[in-house]
Amino acid sequence: MLHSLLGAIPSPSSGSVHIGPLRLNAYGLMIALGVIVAVRIAGRRAEARGITDTEGFGAIAMWGVPAGIIGGRAYHVITTTESFRGNWVEALYVWKGGLGIWGGILCGVLAGVWKARRMGLDPLWVVSCAAPAIAVAQAVGRWGNWFNQELFGRPTDLPWALSVSASAAEKAGHPAGTTFHPTFLYESLGCLLIAWLLVRIERRTRPARGRVFLLYVVMYTAMRFFIEGMRIDPARSAGGLRLNQWVSLVVFAAAVGSILGWGWRSPQAKEGSTVDDHE
């Protein structure tokens, strides 16, 4: 087979990272690293636009990040309740994986918007600054799935196929030695591309407040629809599509409709404004 000649992406033998005497959960570490990088990027973008400084954006993140984790976990638990029946305490085991992006983005953004308003900032400019940073955070966080050997795609013999442990392959319903599409890698690279495109498009077109975030939603949902279709982990489905594919379609349509309805470069937008018109 081709992958046997060119090799495959190996999976870590452990879901932990050892730094000297410290033993850190790799999934949580990837999430934390993604958050740190994202706050730094968003803070620098906000400073460059005169919206707030890095410390101010950090204050917003102090509310948005925990809310995003809670929302992401809640979405995962609600959509996979069968996995927790009889042992609901495991719903709290975030470090074992299981953060639904839709719940995370919704709750994280709502909390961030609330805090931005409390600080007298325009929340639409805040989410515009955060959009590329969120994509980068997702790119980093997806590597937690690699450490956990989870959420991979269909079997494949491609040179970049993912090799997992015998137990992980058998749990997915395939014999030991089967290699799979590394969907975590596809999404990680896709999110980095989205972040780059958002910055490039923003610089060239100077969109109105909030539009960059909507464009992030459009790009991510389009990508996620196809990557979700490759995954083989158990999921609720209807009409031949997985639940997250249906959610992607609905959110994609809503974001596209918002851009078309509000326009990309609103003449009413006050470029660089840091407060709402009514405040």
For residue 90, what pLDDT is reported?
66
pLDDT for res 227: 96
Beta carbons within 10 angstroms of residue 81's beta carbon: 12
C-alpha closest to that of 129 among 68, 66, 207 = 207
Closest to 59 measured CA to CA, from 120, 101, 138, 106: 120
Q: What is the mean pLDDT of each run of 10 residues along the chain (279 residues)?
A: 60 67 73 92 93 90 90 80 69 68 88 94 94 96 90 93 93 93 96 98 93 96 96 89 94 96 71 42
pLDDT given for residue 78 in this prediction:
78
Distance between CA atoms of 67 and 213, rounded to whole angstroms? 18
Q: What are phi and psi of 9, to 5 degrees?
A: -75, 120
Report how far Cα 56 is from the mean position of its chain's Cα atoms: 23
pLDDT at position 7 is 63
pLDDT, position 77: 78
With contact defined as beta carbons under 8 Å apart, do 56 and 42 qualify? no
In single-letter form, the type of residue at position 98 comes to G
Q: Please tell me the pTM assigned to this model.
A: 0.86
pLDDT at 197: 98
**Which pLDDT value is given to residue 97?**
63
Give the three-class secondary structure for 25: strand
Report the amino acid identity of residue 170.
E
Q: What are residue 238's DSSP bridge partners? A: 241
